[in-house]
Chains A and B, each alone.
Chain A
Amino acid sequence: MDPRFDVELVAVTKRYGGTLAVDNVSLRIPHASYCCLLGPSGCGKTTTLRMIAGHEAITGGDILINGQNVSDLPPVARGTAMMFQSYALFPHLNCLDNVAFSLKMRGVAKAERHERARDFLKLVHMQDYALRLPAQLSGGQQQRVALARALITHPKVLLLDEPLSALDPFLRIKVREELKRLQRELQITFIHVTHSQDEAMAMADLMVVMEDGVIRQSGAPREVFERPVNPFIARFIGGHNVLPGPGGPIAIRADRCRLGIPGNGPFVSGRVSVVEYQGTMVRVALTTEPGDEISALVPDDQFHRQPVEPGDAATLVWSEHDVHHMAQA
């Protein structure tokens, strides 16, 4: 048993007939970390999560949880619990019975399982809704109940399939704070599938970016954001301009670009195509002669001293040490 890693994927592969959904994925998730699986739709992130949960058989490779090979174990024997994207609350049971369901399956007496379920409803601040049916709850409330239902099994690893996608933007930010707090308090690993890079950057200790069934980059969010390994990551993570460089593609962060005049440093000239006011920043996008688009995030006070409008000729400048060299796609 290797206590350093809660989850290890060893060359995990999933094939549906002829299509390769997950290709030879290896990953180690340290103890009690918040891991985000990130990528565009169809990249294999949800399939990977479902394989860890045991809802999807693996075609090749091994999955270890807490050092134990669980590849052939049923979901309940893995020490994982899953929170489904649709929450999957049982519509015929009230919140209390939903949360107590796993205890009932294990034969725990009614009084005891209800008492423990109440504790977990309290943990997610849903104790006042114990006797309601899922249909009588809002999406955010249903999610809390689903969370309590997953946590009552005392999982070593909690798997969350796009948990925030059904919530409105305000609630989303609140819930992500809460999930993060819960993860810190419980000291277990959360694996959270998302297609939102904001979400991943805000929450993850370990950010895993997938594309076409493989992991393109994994690391701390800051590492991924500051040193994307290839143009796909730079574009997907956002906030970067990807340009052809002498020794392969380069990335320059949009917030490090300035509107200016050609000087000694690197620059690109073109016509302003978009001006987008974003509050603290203004995004100015230029279309260059060859038709590339490059944008700068300019602090609002700076922009308003020398505003530009779509159609104006303009130049973006940046300094040499902000250039990040990447491998070819």
Chain B
Amino acid sequence: MMIGGPSVRPISSSRPWTFYALGGLFAAYLLFLYGPMLVIYILSFQGENGGVTFPMVGTSTVWFQEIIKPGQMANIPISFGRSISLAAVVSCITVVFAVSAGLGFRRNFPGSGFVFYMAVASLVMPGLLVGFGIGLGFRFLGLPTSLFTSALGAQLTWTLPFGLFAMFAVVNRFNRSWEEAAADLGASSWQRLRYVTLPILLPGILGVAMGAFTLSYDEYARTTLTVGPLNTLPLEIYALISSATSPTLFAIGTLTTVASFTIITITLIAVFRMQRRRTLAGLKVG
């Protein structure tokens, strides 16, 4: 019997044209996604006499030094600190409430549908209007708007529903019989939470924490009308864009990106360490 023939091509000899077409599309997408950021990173090392566009006139780090020099950019490091601490607080509160709510929603408690749709509504509400409303409310009550009151609340209207939905996905993969097994083995409800539920959900919870942190860190719409006199970093940058244009803005972009990546990397390393430790523990005997 003859297998194949001259007209039958070996299976892997060539790829169909669609492979190259879709590959090209994907490459264009990557360029669109990362190209602008790449340009910013490069231009942040612009030479002393260079401008905000190419060509590069030599290279330097003066634009980075500009940030910490007293002067126009003086507020950048301070507002960066504000943004980070606000994001940390938002992240903590979001995790506490989203995890409890995610676990709570496994039961069909009375009114769960209503609470769910309220959360959806909060997510789709235009951020600027939410901020406007909160700002107006504070003024009406005669309270000053500030970072850890009105701005915190405004950001939570955004991060809490996000955290809740993320927790739905996390909790969905949680096998109910883990908790039943724990109860069977004598764990009280606190022990169940402490030794079974939370450790199993931990990677997902870290994800929610990181997500909430990021959402808060670059939030603009809800914060702008609720933050009071002291700006967060995105507000500060926005103010700079409208007043001054120099490669310093790019330097700020590069630095904040480095900061974000550092935080993400630390979190990921923590997660990998945890998993690695468990796997290694297994390999010692196996």
Contact = CB atoms under 8 A, between A and B. Distances in A.
A263 to B, nearest CB: 56
Which secondary structure dominates chain B's binding surface?
Answer: helix
A89 B178 CA distance: 7
A176 B200 CA distance: 31
Nearest to B201: A92
Contacts of B180: 55, 75, 82, 84, 88
A7 interface: no
Interface stretch (B23-31, B158-166, B184-192): B184-192
A53 interface: yes
A184 interface: no
Contacts of B175: 86, 88
A84 B177 contact: yes
B285 A82 contact: no
A129 B286 contact: yes
B97 interface: no
Contacts of A303: none
Given A82-B180, A136-B286, A106 B186 contact: yes
A131 interface: yes
B284 to A, nearest CB: 6
Interface string A226-266: 00000000000000000000000000000000000000000
B186 A153 contact: yes
A133 B282 CA distance: 6
A24 to B, nearest CB: 25
A136 B183 contact: no
B278 A101 contact: no
Contacts of B182: 90, 101, 105
Contact of A75 (B184, B281, B286): B184
Interface in B255-286: 278-279, 281-282, 284-286
A114 to B, nearest CB: 13
A130 to B, nearest CB: 6
A74 interface: yes
B285 A81 contact: no
A255 B158 CA distance: 71
Nearest to B177: A88
A104 B279 CA distance: 22
Interface string A90-112: 11101000000110111000000
Contacts of A91: 200
A53 B185 CA distance: 11
Contacts of B196: 90
Contact of B185 (A86, A94, A105, A133): A105
A53 B181 CA distance: 10
B199 interface: yes
A132 B282 contact: yes
A81 B184 contact: yes
Given A104-B195, A131-B281, A131-B284, A86 B177 contact: yes
Interface in B180-216: 180-188, 191, 195-196, 199-200, 202
Given A88-B177, A88-B180, A131-B281, A101 B286 contact: no
B282 A105 contact: no
B285 A132 contact: yes
A143 B236 CA distance: 59
Contacts of B278: 92, 94, 133
B10 to A, nearest CB: 37
Interface string A117-131: 000000000001111
B170 to A, nearest CB: 14
A76 B199 CA distance: 22
A74 B177 CA distance: 15
A76 B184 contact: yes
B279 to A, nearest CB: 7
Given A91-B200, A133-B279, A82 B184 contact: yes
A53 to B, nearest CB: 7
Contacts of B281: 94, 131, 133
A49 B285 CA distance: 36
A102 B188 CA distance: 11
A70 to B, nearest CB: 13
A53 B184 contact: yes
B184 A92 contact: no
A27 B188 CA distance: 30
Contacts of A102: 185-186
A45 interface: no
Interface of A: 53, 55, 74-76, 80-82, 84-86, 88-92, 94, 101-102, 104-106, 128-133, 136, 149-150, 153
Given A75-B183, A129-B285, 16 more contacts: A75-B184, A76-B185, A85-B177, A86-B177, A90-B181, A90-B199, A101-B185, A101-B187, A104-B195, A105-B182, A128-B285, A129-B286, A131-B282, A131-B284, A132-B282, A136-B282
21 contacts: A53-B184, A74-B183, A75-B184, A86-B177, A88-B177, A88-B178, A90-B182, A90-B196, A90-B199, A92-B200, A92-B202, A101-B182, A101-B187, A105-B182, A105-B186, A105-B191, A105-B195, A131-B281, A131-B286, A132-B285, A132-B286
